[in-house]
Amino acid sequence: MFSYFHFLSGKRKKTDLPPHAQRAQVAREVGPLSFDAFPSYFPSQLIHSSSYSSELYSQLKEKLYGKELLLEELQVTKEEMAPFLKAGLITARIGIQPRKKGYICLRCGTDDLSLFGSYPCARCQQTCIYCRNCIQMGKISTCTLLFRSHFPEETSFETYPQSENDILQWDGQLSLGQQKASDKIVEAIEKRRELLVWAVCGAGKTEVLFHGMAHALKKQFRVLLATPRTDVVLELLPRLRKVFPLTVISGLYSASTEKHLPASIVVATTHQVMRFVDAFDVVIIDEVDAFPYSLDSSLKYAVAKAGKRESATIYLTATPDPTLTSRVQQKTLPAVKIPRRFHGHPLPVPKLSWCGNWERKLKQKEVPKQVWEWCRVRIESGTPVFLFVPSVTSLQQVTDILKKLHPNIEGVHSADEERLTKVSAFREGTIPILVTTTILERGVTVPRVDVAVIGAEQDIFTESALVQIAGRAGRSHNHPTGDVVYFHYGVTAEMNKAITHIKKMNNTPIR
Amino acid sequence: MLRGSLRNEMKHCLYCLAPLPEHFQWKNVFLSETTLLCETCRNMFTPLPKNVCPKCSKPLQKGEETQCHDCIRWEKSTHWKGILEHNTSFYVYNDDIKDFVARWKYRGDAALALVFKEKLRRLYLQNYVDYYPVPIPLSKERFTERGFNQSALLASFLATPYTIFEKLQWMRTHRTYRKLKEIAPQPVLHALRRNIDEKKQSKKSRYERLTFTKNPFVSVSSHEVSVKGKKILLIDDIYTTGMTLRKAAYRLKEEEAASVRSITLFR
């Protein structure tokens, strides 16, 4: 009752943190427990000696650096682990903690009851609750422990050069908008604050980060660059290694081999970030809005947990989601805009074109007239075309029909094994039209390209997806324009929002 | 208790965790039938083709008309003749299922067993009401490592009391009237123990499986789980060569079980 009145009076008891950050706070507060707290987990007959091998010492220290892991991930037995716990070098806590209502998984931050399962456990002879959201990384249940290191910190594992020029070996030029954002980033890192960098597609976001990262490295900060996709990690790694030649940079994605390397810059997919706790001073999140839909909140949680309590968080995006924009409007999140591409030309504004009931047309083995005509003109003039479709089934249909226009037309979707070869063939120009689902909406740069969407009224094409798709066109310096058309069967609010978004960005002056 | 969600409703697909579409269907109210999987995950399970071996549910190859070669070979052997009477399987074991089983058994996602609950119970009611379910056991080491025995989970589904709807369905298919109370499940018998800790079955070749002659199973000799004169239904997840099931059945036959049949999920 009391809290209800409290709510009415407009005073909110809790801080203004978003839910995922609140959960991260909770996860940090669950104190690590010492050895004696788990008598059932480590029965006394297990502990034969209290000494540990020095080989294992360094091995564990390396593996656990900044991370919280399961026994299976560490590949040690309980017997080997016990002396470390006894000596207080490693602490443990139970992976699933009860909360006021339900439970929370400390690794992925899930507190949705429908994502927990239970089973009669043979280890603890009770019904165990386990987290089904992050089970692919190893099972966390009410009887599994997460281990965390408290090894004495040595001064540093590498010697840092003192001047920023030594750390950063890059002589590129920043555009006016980029320079402004870069300065803001340095400031945010300095003050350990949050910052939203709202940059249009093709603004050159990575370059903007260089000075900020160099500044952080000079101060001996650890930097995390989290991105939703493996492709992006693979693309960023060589670029960063080139400009930061003296720094240890590790890339983490599900198939990477360098998982246990302690590094001062970590580039990771957001899934890999889940394993880190309180490890980074600077957290940079690339494309915050691109997290896979179902895992959305747990990935945000993971990123929030990976940063230290006082850390700088920098969000990079072209299409901030409503929670971010509302925070910017409420002035709780400082933001900087880069409204122009690095080449200074405006973004191509999408056109709308009504194409009737395209789904029925596809069933009749035809594409709408307008689409056919549009594609034919592009093929004759030799302009490469990205054609976005809403689903895999329509992808197949459209590709089959368009093959009549040109035999080399191909389609790609997320489960396509030849995805990479097809995309590179498209870049080289052997494929005139690439039909694709939304997987290619981000990060793919092909010069001179024209873009179209079929069925833009479908739910999958949200404002951010449409803006990203439009952002594929006109990215290169020599061809700053391109044609973007949304073929639709009824205009949706999302389509209008996307167009206003782009126009607004084009009208924003660079101050 | 085995649960795939701590809420009463399923909000997510049990396998891929994508949100399930919320359709209201009267069927769900009356038959308490719950959709656990999304459509794509449901399609992952390919039912076995129509022409399968009547004895072991193996899809028949060209040249095999009534029985598969494997069954004929088993029956020729004096040692294994008539040990396992019959095997029913549900789905084809393919690459998708391999991933599914890996997550279920090796990652330890025990709740995935719930996918097969309804199908198992229906089959049990239809054909095996007077059979005692016996799960294929795990060795003690593997059992504590994994935390659960997938076969035992499956077997436990059969032993929970049947709802009136399930019983009515049984009467409809059998076209006989029987007192509802009489249709009671038999209790699960943990009649076997696995002594030798061997390599995981999936890491062995066919040759290794067939030549490793030592029988890892031992029958539990206690009064409560005596199988003497009882009809036994062995429960396991995968039937590859049939060796494991036959070895288990052999021990049960030694204890004078009346007949041994088996249900396996994948073939």
| Average pLDDT by stretches of 10, chain A with 511 residues | 46 58 77 69 65 80 84 83 82 86 87 90 88 89 86 58 72 85 92 88 84 88 85 83 86 73 83 87 81 62 85 86 83 87 86 90 88 90 89 88 88 80 84 85 77 89 86 83 90 91 85 60
> Which residues does chain B have within 8 Å of residue A138's beta carbon, measured at their own beta carbons?
107
Write the CA distances from A35 to A23, A148, A162, A262, B226, integer angstroms: 26, 12, 41, 26, 45
> For chain B, what is the radius of gyration of the CA atoms?
19
Which pLDDT belongs to residue B92?
Answer: 92
Round to whole Å and give the CA distance between B2 and B14: 13
Round to whole Å and give the CA distance between A137 and A130: 13
A127 touches chain B (CB under 8 A): yes
Which pLDDT belongs to residue A9?
Answer: 47
> Which residues does chain B have within 8 Å of residue A103's beta carbon, measured at their own beta carbons?
6
Say yes or no for a CB contact (<8 Å) between A123 and B147: yes
> Which residues does chain A have within 8 Å of residue B18's beta carbon, measured at their own beta carbons?
294
| Least CB–CB distance from A117: residue in B4, B19, B143 | B4
Give the Cβ contact number of residue A359 at 10 Å: 15
Tokens representing B78 are 């004096």
Say yes or no for a CB contact (<8 Å) between B6 and A129: yes
Q: Which residues pair with A252 in a beta bridge?
A: A268
| Least CB–CB distance from B1: residue in A112, A113, A127 | A127
A126 touches chain B (CB under 8 A): no
- The stretches of B53-163 forming alpha helices (DSSP H) are 69-76, 95-101, 117-127, 140-146, 150-159
Strand blocks (E) in A134-279: 145-149, 194-199, 223-227, 249-252, 265-269
Write the CA distances from B118 to A444, B13, B34, B113, B222, integer angstroms: 46, 16, 9, 10, 32
- Maximum Cα interatomic distance, chain A, rounded to a whole number of Å: 80
Say yes or no for a CB contact (<8 Å) between B5 and A115: yes
> Which residues does chain B have within 8 Å of residue A130's beta carbon, measured at their own beta carbons?
108-110
> For chain A, what is the radius of gyration of the CA atoms?
26
| Least CB–CB distance from A133: residue in B7, B17, B19 | B17
Which pLDDT belongs to residue B181?
Answer: 65
Say yes or no for a CB contact (<8 Å) between A119 and B19: no
> Which residues does chain A have within 8 Å of residue B148's beta carbon, measured at their own beta carbons?
119-122
How close does chain A come to B225, measured CA to CA in Å? 20
Round to whole Å and give the CA distance between B148 and A201: 50
The continuous run of DSSP H or E covering A315 comes out as: strand A307-317
DSSP A355-381: ---HHHHHHTT---HHHHHHHHHHHHH
From A393, A294, A329, select the one nearest A198 (Cα to Cα).
Answer: A329
- Strand arrangement, sheet containing A335-338: A249-252, A265-269, A223-227, A280-286, A307-317, A194-199, A335-338
| Residue A307: strand, helix, or coil | strand
Which pLDDT belongs to residue A488?
Answer: 92
Question: Exposed, middle or buried, B205 (CB in 10 Å: 0-12/13-18/19+)?
Answer: exposed
> Which residues does chain A have within 8 Å of residue B19's beta carbon, measured at their own beta carbons?
294
Write the CA distances from A217 to A158, A189, A233, A266, integer angstroms: 11, 11, 20, 12
Give the Cβ contact number of residue A427 at 10 Å: 16
A1 touches chain B (CB under 8 A): no
A105 touches chain B (CB under 8 A): no
**Contact present, A320 and A468 (Cβ < 8 Å):** no
From A200, A456, A213, select the one nearest A350 (Cα to Cα).
Answer: A456
pLDDT, tens digit, 9 for 90 and up, residues B41-88: 888 899 998 888 888 888 888 877 788 888 888 888 888 888 889 999
Q: What is the DSSP letter of A469?
A: H
Round to whole Å and give the CA distance between B260 and B267: 18
| Least CB–CB distance from B5: residue in A114, A128, A135 | A114
**Cα torsion B138, B144, B148, B152: sign:** positive
How close does chain B come to A380, measured CA to CA in Å? 39
The tally of CA atoms less than 13 A away on the side-chain side of residue B9 is 9
- Cβ partners under 8 Å of residue A493, min gap 6: none
Q: Which of A103, A114, A460 to mutate to test the interface with B (most CBs of B within 10 A)?
A: A114
The continuous run of DSSP H or E covering A452 comes out as: strand A450-454
Pick the residue with more confidence: B8 or B105?
B105
Say yes or no for a CB contact (<8 Å) between B149 and A121: no
Pick the residue with more confidence: B26 or A309?
A309
| Least CB–CB distance from A102: residue in B6, B9, B153 | B6
Give the Cβ contact number of residue A181 at 10 Å: 30
Round to whole Å and give the CA distance between A186 and B21: 46
Report the pLDDT averaged over residues B104-108.
90
Q: Which amino acid is at A234?
A: L
Tokens representing A322 are 């409503």
How close does chain A come to B151, measured CA to CA in Å? 13
How close does chain B come to A298, measured CA to CA in Å? 13
> Which residues does chain B have within 8 Å of residue A102's beta carbon, measured at their own beta carbons?
6
**Cα torsion A151, A155, A157, A160: sign:** positive
End-to-end, the C-alpha distance of chain B in Å comes to: 28
* Nearest-by-CA chain A residue for B19: A294
pLDDT band at B32 (very low <50, low <70, confident <90, very high): low
Say yes or no for a CB contact (<8 Å) between A122 and B143: yes
Which pLDDT belongs to residue A47?
Answer: 61
From A461, A110, A24, A290, select the one nearest B11 (Cα to Cα).
Answer: A110
Which pLDDT belongs to residue A291?
Answer: 58
How close does chain B come to A393, measured CA to CA in Å? 13
Report how far Cα B76 is from the mean position of its chain's Cα atoms.
26
Round to whole Å and give the CA distance between B247 and B218: 10
**Contact present, A421 and A445 (Cβ < 8 Å):** no
A40 touches chain B (CB under 8 A): no
The tally of CA atoms less than 13 A away on the side-chain side of residue A247 is 34
Q: Which amino acid is at A153?
A: E
Mean pLDDT computed over every residue of chain B: 84
Query: Helices B150-159 and B117-127, interaxial angle, to 10°?
Result: 60
End-to-end, the C-alpha distance of chain A in Å comes to: 50
pLDDT band at B172 (very low <50, low <70, confident <90, very high): confident
- The stretches of A309-409 forming alpha helices (DSSP H) are 322-329, 358-363, 369-381, 392-402
| Least CB–CB distance from A117: residue in B5, B147, B149 | B5
How close does chain A come to B236, measured CA to CA in Å? 18
Say yes or no for a CB contact (<8 Å) between B109 and A132: yes
**pTM of the predicted structure, to 2 decimals:** 0.80
Tokens representing A359 are 């789904």
Round to whole Å and give the CA distance between B247 and B194: 11
Residue that has been written with the tokens 């992808």 in this structure: A395
Mean pLDDT computed over every residue of chain A: 82
- Strand arrangement, sheet containing A90-94: A68-69, A145-149, A90-94
Going by DSSP bridges, is the β-strand pair B217-219/B192-194 parallel, antiparallel, or unpaired?
A: antiparallel
Q: Which of B5, B150, B194 to mutate to test the interface with A (most CBs of A within 10 A)?
A: B5
The continuous run of DSSP H or E covering A468 comes out as: helix A463-470
- Residue B183 Rama label (left phi>0; alpha psi -120 to 50; beta): beta
Which pLDDT belongs to residue B33?
Answer: 56
Say yes or no for a CB contact (<8 Å) between B6 and A120: no
Say yes or no for a CB contact (<8 Å) between B6 and A113: yes
Which pLDDT belongs to residue B205?
Answer: 67
pLDDT band at B4 (very low <50, low <70, confident <90, very high): confident
| Residue B256: strand, helix, or coil | coil
- Cβ partners under 8 Å of residue B240, min gap 6: B93, B201, B206, B209
| Least CB–CB distance from A117: residue in B110, B146, B149 | B110
- The stretches of B80-212 forming alpha helices (DSSP H) are 95-101, 117-127, 140-146, 150-159, 164-174, 206-211
**Cα torsion B31, B37, B41, B45: sign:** negative
Which pLDDT belongs to residue B261?
Answer: 93
Round to whole Å and give the CA distance between A464 and A470: 10
Round to whole Å and give the CA distance between A268 and A282: 14
